[in-house]
Chains A and B, each alone.
Chain A
Amino acid sequence: DAGITQSPRHKVTETGTPVTLRCHQTENHRYMYWYRQDPGHGLRLIHYSYGVKDTDKGEVSDGYSVSRSKTEDFLLTLESATSSQTSVYFCAISELGVTGELFFGEGSRLTVL
């Protein structure tokens, strides 16, 4: 199994509070991704990173920011959580190349009350 660790795995917070989810990899893969999974929507890309300090937006990036200061860590921050951000968040990693596959973490379940 690919070495991907997400933390925390479960979090309950209140509207308006900041939240940071962490993704840590031990595979030295260049690309890292944050997805959210919601019923009826499948997986939607929030942000991704293609190297240290290099990030780009996905299709649902509003309300989220990311940072990657080291190859192995990719942080997702909700500056002021809203109930619409209640979801399961998945980190994934990949190596470069069209034939490359994604390796997923186990997910972080976030509930915003």
Chain B
Amino acid sequence: GNSVTQMEGPVTLSEEAFLTINCTYTATGYPSLFWYVQYPGEGLQLLLKATKADDKGSNKGFEATYRKETTSFHLEKGSVQVSDSAVYFCALTSTGNQFYFGTGTSLTVIP
């Protein structure tokens, strides 16, 4: 079956620190992988995506590389800002009509 496992939070970092949020997956076929971000009081919005092995998705300084050999899609950012404080969700779809989400990782960045 399909599932996503991401690291437990909450994560607290100082501004300008390096961020890694781990995500591993189990999937049938050849999934597309996503990172979504949820700011307080809002719905989720797409942060980045990768549709095939070795693809790198990037947006707003965040990056994630689709690693088929390790079934991983870890989210990274070199220097976090206070405005990056949010909940981050890893997700996948193999069929395009059903999406599977991790449990979310809460990030707080302190000045």
Contacts and interface: CB of A to CB of B under 8 A. Distances in A.
A binds B: yes
Interface of A: 4, 31, 33, 40-45, 48, 50, 58, 90, 92, 94, 96-107
19 contacts: A31-B97, A42-B89, A42-B101, A42-B103, A43-B89, A43-B104, A45-B99, A96-B96, A96-B97, A98-B30, A98-B31, A98-B32, A98-B96, A101-B46, A102-B36, A103-B46, A105-B43, A106-B42, A107-B43
B56 to A, nearest CB: 15
Given A96-B97, A97-B96, A98-B51, A106 B43 contact: yes
Interface size class of B (residues with CB under 8 A): 20 to 34
Contacts, number: 63
A6 to B, nearest CB: 9
Contacts of B77: none
Interface string B26-49: 000011101010000111111001
Which of the listed residues B42, B46, B101 has the most CB atoms from chain A within 10 Å of its own CB? Answer: B101
A101 B49 contact: yes
Given A97-B96, A99-B32, A90 B44 contact: yes
Nearest to A42: B103
A107 B42 CA distance: 7
B73 to A, nearest CB: 15
A99 B34 CA distance: 10
Contacts of A99: 32, 49, 51, 96
Contact of B101 (A43, A97, A101): A43
